[in-house]
Amino acid sequence: MLQYKAMAPKTEKATIQKTDEEWRRTLTPEQFHVLREHGTERPGTSALNSEKRSGTFVCAGCGQPLFSSDTKFESGTGWPSFWAPVEHAVETSTDDSLFMRRVEVHCAQCGGHLGHVFPGGPPPTRTRFCMNGVALDFKSDERD
């Protein structure tokens, strides 16, 4: 089983804290559902699945850099997948919903739910951070 540092409840650990009403003013309804209510977007619906440019995937809630494009890979799952996050960018907790135990991934800065991490990714980590695209924004390294 994967071993990750367990995250305390987001209200105790996150450095950015807002009320639900404050989050609702800055997020779309779908972003709020995923980031704040631990929802999941439908697989294959994110434009970030096909994002191939060099850049950084950041938290859609707070802008925290989360994943480098250098760690993105095609997992075939229908969600943007990465083999490693930016150092100290994410925290994890145990998710016992859906009658199974999974490792949930949160933004370390705002506590937003991003997705889950599983074994079976490519080297060097052999892990698969399967993220909801709606929980991410992409910042390209390319100049306009």
* pLDDT tens per residue across span 100-123: 788 999 999 999 999 999 999 999
pLDDT value of position 106: 95
Closest CA to 134 of 112, 119, 117: 112
**66: three-class secondary structure by DSSP:** strand
CA-CA-CA-CA torsion for 29, 103, 105, 89, nearest 10 degrees?
180
Q: Out of 59, 62, 110, 130, which one is annotated catalytic?
A: 130
pLDDT in tens, 66-88: 999 999 999 999 999 999 999 99
Fold assignment, 10-140? 2.170.150
pTM, to two decimals: 0.87
Give the other-Cβ count within 10 Å of 112's Cβ.
28
Phi/psi at 38 (5° precision) = 65, 35
- CA dist 17 and 32 (Å) reads 14
Sequence ranges of the domains in the chain: 10-140
CA-CA-CA-CA torsion for 106, 120, 56, 79, nearest 10 degrees?
-80
pLDDT value of position 98: 65
Tell me whether residue 110 is one of the annotated catalytic residues. no
Give the lowest-confidence range in 11-15, 61-65, 72-76, 103-107. Answer: 11-15
Q: What average pLDDT does range 9-30 have in this prediction?
A: 81
- CA dist 113 and 86 (Å) reads 16
Nearest 5°: the CA angle 22, 26, 28 is 120
pLDDT value of position 13: 65
Q: From the CA atom positions of the chain, what is the Rg in Å? A: 14
